[in-house]
Structure 1
Amino acid sequence: MENNVIEQVFGKDVFNDEVMQAKLPKDVYKSWKKTLESGADLDIEIANVVAHAMKEWALEHGATHYTHWFQPMTGVTAEKHDSFLSPASESKPVLEFSGKELIKGEPDASSFPSGGLRATFEARGYTAWDCTSPAFLQEDAAGVTLCIPTAFCSYTGEALDKKTPLLRSMEAISKQAVRIVKLFGMDDVKKVSCSVGPEQEYFLVDRDKYLQRKDLIFTGRTLFGASAPKGQELDDHYFGAIKERIASFMKDLNIELWKLGILSKTQHNEVAPAQHEMAPIFTTANISTDHNQLVMEIMKKVAKRHNLECLLHEKPFAGVNGSGKHNNWSIVTDTGVNLLDPGKKPHENKIFLLFLASIIKAVDENAELLRLSASNPGNDHRLGANEAPPAIISIFLGEQLEDVVEQIVRGDVSSSIQGSKLDTGVHVLPVLKKDATDRNRTSPFAFTGNKFEFRMLGSSMSIAGANFVLNTIVADTLQQFADELEKADDFNKAVKEVIKKNITEHQRVIFNGDGYSDEWVAEAEKRGLPNVKSMVEAVPYLVTDKTVELFERQNVLSKAELESRAEINYENYSKTINIEAKTMIDMAGKQFIPAVISYVTSLADSVNTVTAACAAADVSVQTELLTKCSSLLAKAQKALANLEKVTAEAAEKEEGQEQALFFKNTVFVAMEELRAPIDELEMIVDQDFWPVPSYGDLLFEV
């Protein structure tokens, strides 16, 4: 492939700023840009011109349809395709696309999760163009489609998606951050944006083997499976040489992402066998969210071209690391200043310290909300395990900033630890400049240079939830700071007092040690930090008076919208565990137990055949295996009956919190009890009898 492939393909399928400049009249383009910068409503005449240019560009690239591409509460994207055909003429095709069609769509809202906001008979919903996120083209078996990123709301205006609260939260944090920076004399700043870069972990397995596992097909994870003889013990897969088949996938993935203007930067093998990671360059939060949804969809699409299956579940295999999504978040002014850049002397950087204090306060006061924002049924398998950040929210600042914080608390901040040089002891190697702070991979919320890395998100999750929570809670603390500082007679003195007061009051959330250790769990309890161990336990924090007041104060979500999201979370958890339980029942009853019976029968036949041929022959091995398998088979059958029973009982529970708790505390426990004897049997039964590919087959034969 030619060396300039990135330049050749990057952004070719995006109706980006460069294309708009080329396609739009100059006065229209200027009006368009002015509208974006001011946040004013888009004039319909301007919208009509933009829509025409967008249609002509799409047609040039072979498009026949357009769609309002949105992100409902399902966690995946949705789209309804309409052709550019107009009813204006019956004798020949007339292709039209108006500003009205660009700005607003009307998909059916009745079948998407609404948490009670919409009744089944209330079908009307609207998609509204997010004009800050560029339109793009997607090509598949249906042809080329123009995709217009949109928000999705109900007929009565409530948010039914993940994009709307994210956009609201971006406005909230911009409004409050601008107030702060203007107090520091940055009068030219009109807007502050949240910049996000989500690292994406995933597994790749052979598709033929994947199709032999009902659990992977229906649930995305293996519900049964004994550990392979080798896992990740040798750490040889991490950053190891990439296999040819995987490299070919990554090459095609990059090209597809680059076409869509997605800044795919980094690729490597992750810790677990068959696990990999892709990381992009930072961009604005809503665009980054759109891009990450596309990344996940395109990963799955490209994988199939290589007869692979991309697994995005947080824990597809027991016994090896699961997959997360590190959400790198920072705040940047429209003049290009990163407000989380500490500079060379952070102890003197008052604006940085003020924003740092606001984040520390926000995280400490709203830890449960952040925990919930990283919650889904799959992530419950990861958080708190020795592979991912613990369920306890804490902040890692590093040696340099921790030292500054300690000085602030003591009342006399006068210095910052500086980076030194790293001498490797090898003369032919250059002397390296060493950062002032190490990194901490066990921290859920870690400061890394000029950004915070929220490491708790699950690999399959939309990043919208975590970012709108993060934006909202920080906006609220910034508002409190701005209210206080705007009234101060002595601004410099007031800034110092606000920084000292809030860092001192909330320093309990700062922890630079090993987040995996048992000692930290005990220490966190002493500090009074919450330890919310599961998704179901986290959901109630979404509808507390404190949360409702916070989100309504920032105009991000109303009480009704928060309550709807709580119901959707409970429903999602219950349905997920229910599907997993039913899949286990199906696999155990139709595959594993019959396979073990066949094997036990063969053992019995062997004993009888050998004994008949030679009464004195030693059949102790066959007899021992027969006894052990029969015992485990009985345990599996008993556990299966119990799982069938409790799964049926779960359906009778009241929907919502009660049902979700029953699935967590009863059904999930019964699932584990069924898995245990079957996994043990897999280690005994002849592989010719075992009905599904093993962990070894899935993880190492790619």
Structure 2
Amino acid sequence: MSTLRFQALKEIAGRKPVEVEELDRKSTIFGSNVFNDKSMRQFLTPEAYKAVRNAVQHGKKIDRKLADYISMGMKEWALSKGVTHYTHWFQPLTGTTAEKHDAFFETMPDGSEPVEKFGGSQLVQQEPDASSFPNGGIRNTFEARGYTAWDPTSPAFIFGTTLCIPTVFVSYTGEALDYKTPLLRALASIDEAATDVCRYFDKNVKKVTATLGWEQEYFLIDVALANSRPDITLTGRTLLGHTSAKGQQLDDHYFGSIPTRALNYMRDLENECMLLGIPVKTRHNEVAPNQFELAPIFEEANLAVDHNSLIMDVMQKVAERHYFKVLLHEKPFKGVNGSGKHNNWSLATDTGINLLGPGKTPMSNLQFLTFFINTIKAVHTNEELMRAGIATASNDHRLGANEAPPAIISVFIGEQLTRVLEGLENVSSGKLSPQEKTDLKLNVVGKIPDVLLDNTDRNRTSPFAFTGNKFEFRAVGSTANCANAMTIVNAIVAKQLKDFKKEVDALIADKGMKKDDAIFNVLREYIKETKAILFEGDGYSEEWEVEAAKRGLSNHKTTPTALKAKVSKKTLDLFEELNIMNHIEMEARYEIELEEYAKKIQIEGRVLGDIARNHVVPTAIRYQNILIENVKGLKEIFGKDHETVGRQQIALIKEISEHIAGINIKVEAMTEERKKANELETADEMAVAYCDKVKPYFDTIRNHCDKLELLVDDEIWTLTKYRELLFTK
């Protein structure tokens, strides 16, 4: 066995189990390291506390003088917990989080005793060096200033010895350079639009909040084994490697007993989550070997997005204590399921009603149908934008690849609700007679089950499925920042609700219809218009691709084609109308995402070429030389005249030579295509070239390497194999 593999396995064998110290009852420690309501009441003045609550609940600005009092209280709370530094914690368009730590400690110019200092100006705004963050051409390098501004709706938290203050990140000229800013704007838009529609049913509703419950899938790989693979280290996935004889075909890992070592990691992670106020609740084995999932309780969408971004960092840091490497890549291993991040989305009123949960009365059921059907209409109108929102180089491996979900965006609602919509579709147009209205409410609307959760099937191949009291956007990638998809979902639903209200109000004003009649008439038309987006069958089938094309649905299997929807006139107008992003911000993001795609394929191509030529080929030649010496020895013993001497070895030598030649030829060709792509001037040209000209070589090169893995002696193969990566506990 190669030295690298041997050392990795030897390191694993010599380790002692990592013991996890159990903390107090979860409910007593939850949020201990968060500047939450309890902490604010203790450390803030009544005026300062009220200012924060008004900012959170009503979006009111905080006076700078009060910000000084808030920062003073926040500092005292942090110092009481041993904190030494603070940082503005933000989410730039790199796909990760960012932070620059500053110490509370300051020396005084007059030579007096040093102090711990943290004022309102440091809390509210900072000016980090923004020159190296993606900007999509929004600003020149010499105008690199970017500002982080405090987001009081997401509470500050302590991680390690640092006070982390969630912030937005904008350019000197005000354009959003992060994921949070557009999300906050989209949440404000859905609040306004949904509240207006809610008042058809309940005049007491003053606020509607978008909620999110994400499900994070991931792989746990021993860190020594992961470090022995250059592809995992540099790209987060295996670029080559023959599938293990045993994979997931027995379905024995899914929901099985959690391995002890993984369970210790999960317990440690959950302890950290409790301290940080992340309400993780569910943990289990996923389908693939060494694949797992965790999920929290639903939260307000902005906070949920922050928590998911935070937990992806925490997962890696906790993994170091347990000698694990967390792989969040959507497809780290060939031949087994990849990872997603299901985004469960709904809307809740300040009166305690889930707008996607049917109530017990016909009127509350009608309210449910209003938001349910409008969401379907929003997806139908913007299915290409939905696809663009989850388009990345890594997620392309899942979408359209016989894994949940396909690249075609469709909506699954189940048999029961399909029948309800069919009944509503048959309502006569115009004003309803008292008898028609009674029949409708009793026989159609009134028969919606009180609880659909247990009665609504889950189609695992659907990218956007209704699952009882929420919609589950299952196409979001496991590495993604949830804000990207959630900004789009909330934006398109907000736009649709605004259009719906205009149509209903017009029928009431122009045709003298009663409110219920107008609502029924508009919903009926929406049902007729959106049939193409509803699909109950197998999303993996070739028949669905043909059927989807007939229905006029898009099927963008690659990121460069999918992303075009982000800069279509329809999308630009939508985001500008809702004041979420202007065309400059949208076009900048389009360019950034194309550049990121090209760079990731570029890195993978370089790593694959390096491994193929510097690991696989030399190892194959080394084994080939052993075979050649073997054949020479046999001929010396048995004589040169014996026709059968070494025949099988010679055939094996020839086969190895063919694969070595194939690798060298294809790596050379791939390198030339990469050079051509690098010379292209625009981001879209480069992304398309990497997609269509460079990436196709990956499978061919990998195929030659994987064949050699089966032919070469295991004792000298340098790369850790799938059976070791996936089945080492």
TM-score by length of 1: 0.95
The equivalent residue for 1:531 is 555
Give 2:379's aligned amino acid. V
Please report how far the alpha carbon of residue 181 of structure 1 lies from its aligned counterpart in structure 2 after TM superposition: 1.1
Please report how far the alpha carbon of residue 417 of structure 1 lies from its aligned counterpart in structure 2 after TM superposition: 6.0
Shift of the 3–691 alpha-carbon distance from structure 1 to 2, 3 Å rule, reads closer
Please report how far the alpha carbon of residue 601 of structure 1 lies from its aligned counterpart in structure 2 after TM superposition: 0.6
Q: 1:468 aligns with which of 479, 482, 487?
A: 487
Q: 2:530 aligns with which of 506, 516, 539?
A: 506
Please report how far the alpha carbon of residue 92 of structure 1 lies from its aligned counterpart in structure 2 after TM superposition: 2.1
Please report how far the alpha carbon of residue 688 of structure 1 lies from its aligned counterpart in structure 2 after TM superposition: 1.5
* Structure 1: distance between partners of 2:63 and 2:549: 55
1:64-75 mapped onto 2 (5 Å cutoff): 64-75=84-95
1:215-364 mapped onto 2 (5 Å cutoff): 215-344=231-360, 349-364=365-380
- 1:366-390 Cα offsets, whole Å, 9 max, x none, are 0011101111100000011222111
Question: What SS does structure 2 have at the residue aligned with 1:340?
Answer: coil
Q: Do 1:117 and 1:561's aligned partners in 2 also have CA atoms closer than 8 Å?
A: yes
Give 1:179's aligned amino acid. D
Q: Do 1:228 and 1:695's aligned partners in 2 also have CA atoms closer than 8 Å?
A: yes
Residue 589, structure 1, aligned to residue 605, structure 2: no
Please report how far the alpha carbon of residue 419 of structure 1 lies from its aligned counterpart in structure 2 after TM superposition: 6.5
The equivalent residue for 2:588 is 564
* Structure 1: distance between partners of 2:151 and 2:23: 35
Question: What SS does structure 2 have at the residue aligned with 1:183?
Answer: coil
Shift of the 419–482 alpha-carbon distance from structure 1 to 2, 3 Å rule, reads closer
Q: 1:677 aligns with which of 704, 717, 725?
A: 704
Give 2:500's aligned amino acid. F
Q: Do 1:198 and 1:280's aligned partners in 2 also have CA atoms closer than 8 Å?
A: yes
Shift of the 567–434 alpha-carbon distance from structure 1 to 2, 3 Å rule, reads closer
- 1:512-555 Cα offsets, whole Å, 9 max, x none, are 22212222222111111111111111111111111111000100
* Structure 2: distance between partners of 1:226 and 1:420: 50
Q: Do 1:543 and 1:566's aligned partners in 2 also have CA atoms closer than 8 Å?
A: yes
- 1:241-291 Cα offsets, whole Å, 9 max, x none, are 111111111110111111100011100110011111011111011110110
Give 1:261's aligned amino acid. G
Residue 626, structure 1, aligned to residue 653, structure 2: yes
Give 1:174's aligned amino acid. D
Please report how far the alpha carbon of residue 35 of structure 1 lies from its aligned counterpart in structure 2 after TM superposition: 3.5
Shift of the 344–509 alpha-carbon distance from structure 1 to 2, 3 Å rule, reads farther
More divergent stretch after superposition (570-579 vs 187-196): 187-196
Residue 164, structure 1, aligned to residue 181, structure 2: yes
The equivalent residue for 1:645 is 672
The equivalent residue for 2:121 is 100
Please report how far the alpha carbon of residue 71 of structure 1 lies from its aligned counterpart in structure 2 after TM superposition: 0.3
Q: Aligned-residue CA RMSD in angstroms?
A: 1.8
Residue 118, structure 1, aligned to residue 139, structure 2: yes
Please report how far the alpha carbon of residue 345 of structure 1 lies from its aligned counterpart in structure 2 after TM superposition: 6.3
Q: Do 2:146 and 2:169's aligned partners in 1 also have CA atoms closer than 8 Å?
A: yes
Please report how far the alpha carbon of residue 346 of structure 1 lies from its aligned counterpart in structure 2 after TM superposition: 6.9
Q: State the number of aligned residues.
A: 686
Q: 1:173 aligns with which of 156, 168, 190?
A: 190
- 1:487-525 Cα offsets, whole Å, 9 max, x none, are 424212111111111121112111122212222222111
* Structure 2: distance between partners of 1:15 and 1:478: 35
Q: Do 1:596 and 1:689's aligned partners in 2 also have CA atoms closer than 8 Å?
A: no
Shift of the 570–118 alpha-carbon distance from structure 1 to 2, 3 Å rule, reads same
Q: 1:580 aligns with which of 597, 604, 610?
A: 604
Residue 445, structure 1, aligned to residue 464, structure 2: yes
* Structure 2: distance between partners of 1:519 and 1:680: 33
1:655-666 mapped onto 2 (5 Å cutoff): 655-666=682-693
Question: What SS does structure 1 have at the residue aligned with 2:271?
Answer: helix
Runs of 5+ in structure 2 lacking a partner? Answer: 1-20, 429-439
Runs of 5+ in structure 1 lacking a partner? Answer: 422-432
Residue 688, structure 1, aligned to residue 710, structure 2: no
Shift of the 474–328 alpha-carbon distance from structure 1 to 2, 3 Å rule, reads same
Residue 133, structure 1, aligned to residue 154, structure 2: yes
The equivalent residue for 2:166 is 149
Identity %: 47
The equivalent residue for 1:428 is none
More divergent stretch after superposition (463-472 vs 646-655): 646-655
Give 1:435's aligned amino acid. D
Please report how far the alpha carbon of residue 602 of structure 1 lies from its aligned counterpart in structure 2 after TM superposition: 0.6
Please report how far the alpha carbon of residue 7 of structure 1 lies from its aligned counterpart in structure 2 after TM superposition: 2.6
Q: Do 2:595 and 2:683's aligned partners in 1 also have CA atoms closer than 8 Å?
A: yes
Q: 2:497 aligns with which of 446, 467, 478?
A: 478
The equivalent residue for 1:457 is 476
* Structure 1: distance between partners of 2:229 and 2:361: 56
Please report how far the alpha carbon of residue 642 of structure 1 lies from its aligned counterpart in structure 2 after TM superposition: 1.1
Please report how far the alpha carbon of residue 344 of structure 1 lies from its aligned counterpart in structure 2 after TM superposition: 4.7
Q: 2:71 aligns with which of 45, 51, 73?
A: 51
Question: What SS does structure 1 have at the residue aligned with 2:105?
Answer: coil
The equivalent residue for 2:8 is none
Q: Do 1:571 and 1:655's aligned partners in 2 also have CA atoms closer than 8 Å?
A: no
* Structure 2: distance between partners of 1:670 and 1:645: 11
More divergent stretch after superposition (530-539 vs 615-624): 615-624
Q: Do 2:358 and 2:449's aligned partners in 1 also have CA atoms closer than 8 Å?
A: no
Q: Do 1:346 and 1:352's aligned partners in 2 also have CA atoms closer than 8 Å?
A: no
Q: 1:78 aligns with which of 92, 98, 103?
A: 98
Please report how far the alpha carbon of residue 132 of structure 1 lies from its aligned counterpart in structure 2 after TM superposition: 0.4
Give 2:233's aligned amino acid. I
More divergent stretch after superposition (578-587 vs 524-533): 524-533
Residue 554, structure 1, aligned to residue 578, structure 2: yes
* Structure 2: distance between partners of 1:622 and 1:105: 69
Please report how far the alpha carbon of residue 434 of structure 1 lies from its aligned counterpart in structure 2 after TM superposition: 8.9
Give 1:272's aligned amino acid. A
Q: Do 1:373 and 1:469's aligned partners in 2 also have CA atoms closer than 8 Å?
A: yes
Q: Do 1:129 and 1:149's aligned partners in 2 also have CA atoms closer than 8 Å?
A: yes
* Structure 1: distance between partners of 2:355 and 2:56: 22
Give 1:670's aligned amino acid. Y
* Structure 1: distance between partners of 2:538 and 2:682: 39
Q: Do 1:257 and 1:263's aligned partners in 2 also have CA atoms closer than 8 Å?
A: yes
Q: Do 2:631 and 2:645's aligned partners in 1 also have CA atoms closer than 8 Å?
A: no
Shift of the 23–420 alpha-carbon distance from structure 1 to 2, 3 Å rule, reads closer
Shift of the 226–347 alpha-carbon distance from structure 1 to 2, 3 Å rule, reads farther
Please report how far the alpha carbon of residue 5 of structure 1 lies from its aligned counterpart in structure 2 after TM superposition: 2.8
Q: Do 1:358 and 1:478's aligned partners in 2 also have CA atoms closer than 8 Å?
A: yes
Q: Do 1:607 and 1:619's aligned partners in 2 also have CA atoms closer than 8 Å?
A: yes
